[in-house]
Structures are given as structure tokens and as C-alpha cells.
Amino acid sequence: MDNGALSYRRFLDGDDSGIVEIIRDYKDGLMLYINSLINNIHVSEDLMEETFVKLAVRKPKFSEKSSFKTWLYAIGRNVAIDYLRKNSKTLMQSVDEKILVDQESVEVAYIREERKITVHRAMQGLNPDYRQVLYLIYFEGFDNTQASAVMKKSKHQIENLAYRAKMSLKSQLEKEGFVYEEL
């Protein structure tokens, strides 16, 4: 049982610090994942909060068939899909880019950030399933089995989807004159 599952079990048993730990550990990644579906960081933050409210109020049963993170992201995905269904006609896309500079030189950080921005922009032009699978696998570090549980597809479908998504992203980047060796 992973740490999230233990925290959730404690929360269900009456220890409110369990839900606080879950929120602390998963809020950023969950919000960024939801943003990959919604393309609006402010709405994604609200939907992330809604996901945690559902967890705290409804207290759904965690069956432990997958990791806690996979289960939580699947709930977040469902919240995002519900939002998209309700607001499909009024959605406006916004792109918020954050620049994170670590201990490397400013020039290296700038180049790296420009590449990320270019990749993120190129991803916006992809099929939503392609964006989702790339985000889960390459940004969140999910394996194919976990991604298949979140996206409700078979592992084989995820492998095919990931391959097609990489090829589509590569093609999109090449159209913009960008060559990324690791694709």
C-alpha cells in the first residue's frame, strides 16, 4: 500500500491529517494533469479542489486495484470531463507558462524553457487523447498500465496511442522547424 493509500485509510478512520497529506502530496501534479485536459490553469485549479472535495465529502471506496495516485487521477479526469461536458460551448483556451529556473545558468534554463514552451504549444495542436497520454507518461511518469487505468483504455491501446502521439508531436515540431532528438 502506497503512502497516499495509507493517508486515505487514516482519513476514512477519522484522522483529518490524512486528507491534508493527500492534498499536499498530490495537488500540484493533479492540477497540471487536469490542465492538460482543460487548457486553463485557473479552471484546473478549481477542478483540482473539486476533486479533493469529492474525496473528502463523498469518501469513495479505494479498491486498491491500482495505485492511489492512479485512482485519484482517474477521479480528477472524470471531474474534468464533467466540466468539459457542461461548458463545451463557452470554453476559452488560455495558456499560462511558468518559468522555473533551477541552479543551472540562466542561458541553459532559458533554452530549456523555450523548448518546453515549444513542446507544450505543439501539444496543444494534438488530438486530446494524444495530449493526455503524453502528459501522463512523460510529465507525470505513469507507466502504460497506470495510464490505461486513468484513460480507461487497454494497455495495448495506450502503447499504440503513445506511439502515434509521439509521431504526431514530432511531425508538429518539425513543421515549426524544431528538432528534438529524444522523441
Of 87, 117, 139, the domain-final residue: 87
Model confidence at 110: pLDDT above 80: no
Q: Which pLDDT value is given to residue 116?
A: 73
List all residues 6 or more positions away from 35 whose beta carbon is below 8 Å from its beta carbon: 41, 44
**For residue 3, what are the CA distances in angstroms to 21, 26, 31?**
9, 11, 19
Q: Are residues 82 and 111 in the same domain?
A: no
Neighbouring CB atoms inside 10 A of 91's CB total: 14
Domain range for 112: 106-175
Q: Which of 59, 87, 115 is the last residue of a domain?
A: 87
Report phi then psi at 163, rounded to 5: -65, -50
pLDDT at 107: 59
Residue 4: its H or E element: helix 3-12
In this structure, the answer to whether residues 76 and 110 fall within a common structural domain is no
Which range, of 4-18, 44-58, 97-111, 119-133, averages the lowest pLDDT? 97-111
Residues above pLDDT 90, as percent of the chain = 31
Contacts of 49 (CB under 8 A, 6+ apart): none
Residue 15 within any structural domain of the chain: yes
18 and 72 housed in the same domain? yes
pLDDT at 37 over 80: yes
Which pairs with CB-CB distance under 8 Å and at least 24 residues apart come from 172-178? 172/122, 172/123, 172/125, 172/126, 173/118, 173/119, 173/122, 176/118, 176/122, 178/115, 178/118, 178/122
Q: Which residues contact 77 (CB under 8 A, 6 or more apart)?
A: 33, 34, 37, 150, 151
**What is the Cα–Cα distance from 135 to 147, expressed in whole angstroms?**
10
Q: For 55-92, how does the pLDDT look when each residue is reduced to its tens digit (9 = 90+)? A: 989 988 888 888 899 999 999 999 999 998 888 765 44
- Alpha-carbon separation of residue 134 from 6, 120, 130, 137, 161 (angstroms): 29, 11, 6, 5, 9
CATH number at residue 69: 1.10.1740.10
Report the mean per-residue pLDDT for the chain.
81
